[in-house]
Structure 1
Amino acid sequence: MSGDVNPPAGKAMRVLLSDVAAARHGARIRDAVPDVDLVPVAPDGALPDAAGIEVAFVTRDLFVGGTRHRLNPRFVRFTGLLQAAPALRWVQTFSAGTDMAVYQAMLARGLVLTNSTGASAPAVAQTAVTGLLALARQFPRIAAAQARQAWEPLYAEPEPREVEGQAALILGTGPIGQEIGRLCRAFGLRTLGIRRDAAAGPPPGFDAVAGFAALPDLLPGTDWLILACPLTETTRDLIDADLLARLPPGRHLINVSRGGVVVEADLLAALRSGHLAGAFLDVFGMEPLPPENPFWGLPNVIVSPHSAAASDGLPERVAAIFCDNLRRFRHGEPLRNLARPVA
Structure 2
Amino acid sequence: MSDWDCLDVLVTHCGMARELVAALDGQAGLRLRVVEGAEPADPVAAGLGDYRPDAVIGYQFGPGSLRGLAGPRWLHLTGTGVDHLQPAGLGPDVLVTTSSRVPVTAVAEYAVAGLFLLTKDLAGLASGQRRAWFSSAATLVAGSTVGVLGAGRIGRAVLSRLSALGARTVAVTRDGASPVAEAARTIGLAGLAAEAAGLDAVIGCLPGGPGTVYALSREVLAGLPAHARVVNVGRASTVDTEALYEALRAGRLAGAFLDVHDVEPLPADHEAWQVPGLVVSPHCAFRFPGEPAAVAAAFLDNLDDLRRGQAPRDRAGWLLEGSLG
Q: TM-score, normalised by structure 1?
A: 0.81
State the AA in 2 paired with 1:17.
V
Contact 1:249 1:277 in 2 (8 A): yes
Deviation at 1:140, TM superposition (A): 2.3
Q: Which of residues 109, 132, 137 is equivalent to 1:152? A: 132
Aligned length: 307
1:233 paired with 2:210, answer yes
> In angstroms, what is the RMSD of aligned CA positions?
2.7
1:105 paired with 2:104, answer no
For 1:258 and 1:46, the matched residues in 2 are separated by 31
Deviation at 1:331, TM superposition (A): 2.8
Residue 25 (structure 2) aligns with: 26
Residue 31 (structure 2) aligns with: 38
Residue 54 (structure 1) aligns with: 54
Q: How does 1:102-251 map to 2 (within 5 A)?
A: 102=85, 104-143=87-126, 146-147=128-129, 150-153=130-133, 155=135, 159-203=137-181, 205-251=182-228
In structure 2, stretches of 5+ residues that fail to align are 38-45
Deviation at 1:106, TM superposition (A): 4.8
Q: Which of residues 1, 4, 8 is equivalent to 2:3? A: 8
Deviation at 1:175, TM superposition (A): 0.9
Sort the Cα spacing of 1:342 and 1:105 in 2 relative to 1 into closer, same or farther, 3 A: farther
CA deviation map 1:70-111 (0-9, x unaligned):
x7xxxx9xx95x6555331111011111112x4653544431
SS of the counterpart of 1:199? Answer: coil
Larger Rg: 1
For 1:234 and 1:127, the matched residues in 2 are separated by 25
CA deviation map 1:130-154 (0-9, x unaligned):
110011110123245x24xx34235
Q: Which of residues 282, 287, 300 is equivalent to 2:277? A: 300
State the AA in 2 paired with 1:296.
W
CA deviation map 1:232-252 (0-9, x unaligned):
212102223211111111110
State the AA in 1 paired with 2:56.
A
Contact 2:196 2:220 in 1 (8 A): yes
CA deviation map 1:192-242 (0-9, x unaligned):
111125332213x32221211221122111111110011121210222321
Identity over aligned pairs, percent: 30
Residue 285 (structure 1) aligns with: 262
State the structure with bigger RCO (CA 8 A, min sep 6), 1 or 2: 1
Deviation at 1:296, TM superposition (A): 0.8
Q: TM-score, normalised by structure 2?
A: 0.85
Residue 41 (structure 2) aligns with: none
SS of the counterpart of 2:254? Answer: strand
Contact 1:50 1:84 in 2 (8 A): no
For 1:222 and 1:171, the matched residues in 2 are separated by 12
Deviation at 1:317, TM superposition (A): 2.1
Contact 2:145 2:169 in 1 (8 A): yes
State the AA in 2 paired with 1:216.
A
State the AA in 1 paired with 2:315.
L
Sort the Cα spacing of 1:153 and 1:180 in 2 relative to 1 into closer, same or farther, 3 A: farther
For 1:151 and 1:329, the matched residues in 2 are separated by 59
Contact 1:250 1:274 in 2 (8 A): no
For 1:12 and 1:108, the matched residues in 2 are separated by 21
1:312 paired with 2:289, answer yes
Residue 11 (structure 2) aligns with: 17
Sort the Cα spacing of 1:326 and 1:103 in 2 relative to 1 into closer, same or farther, 3 A: farther
SS of the counterpart of 1:226? Answer: strand
For 1:172 and 1:330, the matched residues in 2 are separated by 32
In structure 1, stretches of 5+ residues that fail to align are 1-5
State the AA in 2 paired with 1:194.
V
Contact 1:50 1:85 in 2 (8 A): no
For 1:126 and 1:86, the matched residues in 2 are separated by 40
Deviation at 1:49, TM superposition (A): 5.0
State the AA in 1 paired with 2:170.
L
Q: Which of residues 96, 105, 119 is equivalent to 2:80? A: 96
State the AA in 2 paired with 1:89.
R
Sort the Cα spacing of 1:310 and 1:24 in 2 relative to 1 into closer, same or farther, 3 A: same
* More helix, by proportion: 1
Sort the Cα spacing of 1:187 and 1:56 in 2 relative to 1 into closer, same or farther, 3 A: same
For 1:154 and 1:266, the matched residues in 2 are separated by 34
For 2:36 and 2:90, the matched residues in 1 are separated by 25
SS of the counterpart of 1:210? Answer: strand
For 1:106 and 1:334, the matched residues in 2 are separated by 24
